Amino acid sequence: MDEKQPVQPDTDGTAGNKEQMIIFVIGDQEYCIPILSIKEIREYEKPTYLPHCLPYVEGAINIRGNIVTVVNLAKYLDVPAQTDNERRVVIVIESDEQTTCGLLVDGVVGITDILLSDVQPISVEGGAAELSGLVTVGERVIRILQLDAVISQLLGQEAAGTATAPTALT
């Protein structure tokens, strides 16, 4: 998680360092991600199940000829999702390395400018590596999602080197 997130204050937090974020809800919690990482937002359609997948992976969908994995953010973050939600959407994001993935959320709330100096970092100690910080907008507490973490876990990068070795011989 040492990769620099756009939302991390890269200066000493002087005011005026803004980032446009998109806010979405999962259950009753609000989250946000940088708007520039988003490729599109689309209706939820039933994805194709991927065998042996991580529990929070919904499956794969076709986006103009590309196979894109959809992550159920509620399961990923272990947050109860809204029940009977007809308006669930998939936010399609793209990482710096051109990896694309879809995030299944309960709904998009809106767009807001967030001052980087307002971001309160979260200690990883609390087991919240999925988030890169918190920010308060008025009365609301908005959690900033760590996108790199989502993607690297999806790609299984932590075990990329060893996963392919022949295992049959032990």
Partner 1 sequence: MDDILKIFFEECDELLPELERGLGELSDDDASKETINAIFRVAHSIKGGAASFGLERLVRFAHTYESALDCLRSETVAPNDEIVRIFFSAMDVLSDLVAEAKGTGDTVDDERIDDNIKKLKSIIEMGNGPEEPASSESSPVPENFEPVAFDFGGFDFDEPEENAEGGDFSVQFTPHSDLYVRGDDARNLLLGLKELVPEEHQDGFHVVCDQEKLPASLSELPAEEALLSWTVTVPQAGGQVTEEQIREVFDWVDDVCDLTITMAGGNGPDGGGEGSLPPLEEEPASEEEAPQAQPQKETVAPTPAPKVAPKEEKKPAKHVKKAEQSPSIRVDLNRISMLMDMVGEMVIGQASLESVLEKSGALDNQELLKSLSVMRSLTRDIQDAVMAVRAQPVRSVFQRMHRVVREASNLAKKDIALVLEGEETEIDRTLIENLTDPLTHMLRNAVDHGVESPEKRREAGKSEQGTIWLSAYHRSGRILIDIKDDGGGINRERVFQIAVQKGIVAPDAQLTEDEVNELIFAPGFSTAEKVSDLSGRGVGMDVVKQAIQNLGGHVSIKSTPGQGTLFSLSLPLTLAVLDGMLIECRGSTMVVPVTSVVELMTVKAPQEIHIIPDGTRVILVRGRCIPLIYLADALTLPWVEPGDKPAAKRTEQEDQLIVLIVENEAGARAALVVDGIRDQAQVVIKSIEKNYRRIEGISAATILGDGSVSLILDVSTLIAATTKRVDTRAMEQLVRNAA
Which is closer to partner 1, CB of 34 or CB of 102?
102
Q: Does 127 bind partner 1 (CB under 8 A)?
A: no
Q: What is the 3-state secondary structure (H, E, C) of 53-68?
A: CCCCEEEEEEECCEEE
Per CB under 8 A, the list member of 1, 53, 124, 129 interacting with partner 1 is 53
Q: Does 155 bind partner 1 (CB under 8 A)?
A: yes
Q: How far is the CB of 39 from partner 1 (least distance, A)?
A: 12
Per CB under 8 A, the list member of 14, 20, 48, 120 interacting with partner 1 is 48
- φ/ψ bin of 155: left (φ > 0), alpha (ψ from -120 to 50), beta (otherwise): alpha
Which is closer to partner 1, CB of 51 or CB of 110?
51
Site for partner 1 in 88-117 (CB under 8 A): 99-101
Which is closer to partner 1, CB of 41 or CB of 50?
50
Q: How far is the CB of 167 from partner 1 (least distance, A)?
A: 10
Distance CA 67, CA 49 (A): 12
Which is closer to partner 1, CB of 11 or CB of 98?
98
Site for partner 1 in 18-47 (CB under 8 A): 47
Which residues, other chains included, contact 77 with Cβ-Cβ below 8 Å and sequence gap of 6+?
26, 29, 31, 130
Which residue has tokens 């990923």? 76
Q: Which residues bind partner 1 (CB under 8 A)?
A: 47-53, 57, 59-62, 65-69, 99-101, 154-156, 163-166, 168-170
